[in-house]
Structure 1
Amino acid sequence: MSRRRIGFWYRLAAVLVKPPLLVFFKRDWRGTEHIPETGGFLTVVNHNSAVDPLSYAHFQYNSGRVPRFLAKESLFKSGFVGTAMRGTGQIPVFRESKDAIGAFRAAVEAVHKGECVAFYPEGTLTREPGMWPMKGKTGAARVALETRAPVIPVAQWGANLAVPPYPKRGEIKLFPRKTLIVQAGPPIDLSEFYGREPTAAVLRAVTDRIMDEITAQLADVRGEDPPPQRYDHRAVEQRPEQVPPQQQPQNGQQAESSQRADDAPQARPAQQDTAPPSGAGGENA
């Protein structure tokens, strides 16, 4: 099979979703010439709004190559949404379970069948203060090295101006109408990594290359320079200053705690991570 047929459920989703998008947003699609006409491939996409999966799906649908998203398995369980997810062939992700590797296998199989599999490598909405892409997870890198299929970087901007990530009351502003910009770039050259053992270091290098290319596309869209260092929200959330106030030492304890810290021996450097098994689900879409 060279490409996935646009079936009933995808066409129904388009009928339901496209009219509201046309009402509330303007469109600016760029780089559709980089979407392969035939054969399996991956797209890797930034994520800065709860609306942007719809804008990206609209862009991709118009190219004639409908994507298969990796989505959390709870969306597949019941109701119309679950039926639509199954009908459109989306791929369930069972996070932190023995079934997590199934998403990797399904993604590889889909690419080998000539389909498009779409990854959000950040794994969540961006928490980067300037809405730039964050540090990515390695799921897309694993599939890319296994299949050696083209990897197309896609940048989005505009949906976040109407519906920002994690919006508070009053922050959703649909009017005046915003422009949804979706820009695809040329395939990422990962040939230097082919044939190498997919160690943690190799997967991280491939993932960083992927995130660099997505960021470059977004910088072109925004006409701005990205930050020199990529934001890692997991590292930020684990900093000591993020400990909830109730866990902080009381004033009377601060001097004693500080003295104990000064007297304590320096901690030894952490051991370097070893590579997880190929296809493990710890770092997925």
Structure 2
Amino acid sequence: MSEIVYPPVIKTALGVFKALNIRVRLEGTDQIPRTGGAVLVSNHVSYLDFIFAGLAAYPAGRLVRFMAKKEIFDSRVGGPLMRGMHHIPVDREAGASSYAAALKALKSGEIVGVFAEATISRSFTVKDIKSGAVRMAVAGKVPLIPVAVWGPQRMWTKGRKRRLLQRNVPVAVLVGEPLYPKRGDDYDQVTRDLRAAMSALLEKAQREYPDVPRPGETWWQPAYLGGSAPTPGEAEKLDLQEAEARKAARGSGA
């Protein structure tokens, strides 16, 4: 597979991080296999997560093919980059083709990245996840690798203005031990185990994070640590309201 786009994009991103003094802490990267397929499953706190979660595989010399919503590929700017990096478009109305493309990538030895929560978590905790990632790993006969990302929400997340040029933001990327689901397992239980592993990694990243919010900035801290982010219950209600508003807009042709 030709890699004309992906390596320069990583090099550029690392250069920007250095210029902005964005300190990326990578932990557990030895859990990423040096060869063969794997499903990398990350939490989702920002619009930048695919950049940082992808760095989890960088020390192993691997590239991650992320599954991302089709709308990004339709963008004039983002589309060519996403296709050039061989990421996988997800059309929610034609999910079978996305699944088939991801499975093909896994069987050819690629690492496929998945945000199993589907949308950004407003509470900055791990939302409920479905068993799709587990089923994909079983079908591809590859491991599941839990990952937690923390920090990028300060630069760009749902409901907040972009602050892409913010300096001195620490970012943590923690990789957990792989899970090896197999055919015949209780996929729902494996999914619960995966979510528990992701939650433990995320809580570790949050509790060990070197910065604390300044006055007026507590929105990026989860409620359980004293921040003003919505609780999981409040976040779920907001998500439902947003989904209903989108549905109504589609129905009105807006």
What's the TM-score bracket when you normalise by the shorter of the two chains?
0.7 to 0.9
Q: TM-score, normalised by structure 2?
A: 0.76
SS of the residue aligned with 1:153? strand
Paired residues of 2:66 and 2:112 also in contact (CA < 8 A): yes
Please list, as runs of the form range in 1=range in 2, the aligned pairs for 1:72-87 lying within 5 A after superposition: 72-77=69-74, 79-87=76-84
SS of the residue aligned with 2:148? strand
SS of the residue aligned with 1:107? helix
Deviation (angstroms), 1:167: 4.1
Aligned CA-pair RMSD: 3.1
Deviation (angstroms), 1:220: 2.3
Amino acid in structure 1 at the alignment position of 2:62: R
| 2:61 is the alignment partner of 1:69 | no
Amino acid in structure 2 at the alignment position of 1:45: S
Q: Which residue of 1 aligns with 2:248?
A: none
Match of 2:176 among 178, 185, 197: 185
Q: Which residue of 1 aligns with 2:237?
A: 236
Q: Which residue of 2 aligns with 1:280?
A: none
Amino acid in structure 1 at the alignment position of 2:184: G
| 2:136 is the alignment partner of 1:147 | no
Deviation (angstroms), 1:66: 0.3
SS of the residue aligned with 2:188? helix
Match of 2:19 among 3, 10, 23: 23
Counterparts of 1:233 and 1:104, CA distance in 2: 31
Deviation (angstroms), 1:218: 1.5
Paired residues of 1:41 and 1:115 also in contact (CA < 8 A): yes
Q: Which residue of 2 aligns with 1:206?
A: 190
Amino acid in structure 1 at the alignment position of 2:119: T
Q: Which residue of 2 aligns with 1:158?
A: 151
SS of the residue aligned with 2:149? strand
Deviation (angstroms), 1:102: 0.7
Q: Gapped runs of 5+ residues in structure 2?
A: 209-222, 225-230, 246-254
Amino acid in structure 1 at the alignment position of 2:106: V
Amino acid in structure 2 at the alignment position of 1:166: K
String of CA shifts for 1:198-234, please: whole Å, max 9, x gaps.
xxxx44333222111111111222338x97xx94778
String of CA shifts for 1:216-272, please: whole Å, max 9, x gaps.
111222338x97xx94778635889xx99xxxxxxxxxxxxxxxxxxxxxxxxxxxx
| 2:9 is the alignment partner of 1:13 | yes
Q: Which residue of 1 aligns with 2:214?
A: none
Amino acid in structure 2 at the alignment position of 1:31: G
Match of 2:112 among 85, 92, 117: 117
Deviation (angstroms), 1:140: 0.7
String of CA shifts for 1:127-159, please: whole Å, max 9, x gaps.
22xx11111133212202212311111111122
Kindly, what percent of the aligned residue pairs are identical? 27
Give the total of aligned pairs: 224
Q: TM-score, normalised by structure 1?
A: 0.68
Counterparts of 1:176 and 1:110, CA distance in 2: 36
Paired residues of 2:142 and 2:180 also in contact (CA < 8 A): no
Paired residues of 1:127 and 1:134 also in contact (CA < 8 A): no
Deviation (angstroms), 1:88: 1.4
Residues 113 and 232 from structure 1, CA distance in 2 versus in 1: closer, same or farther, beyond 3 angstroms? farther
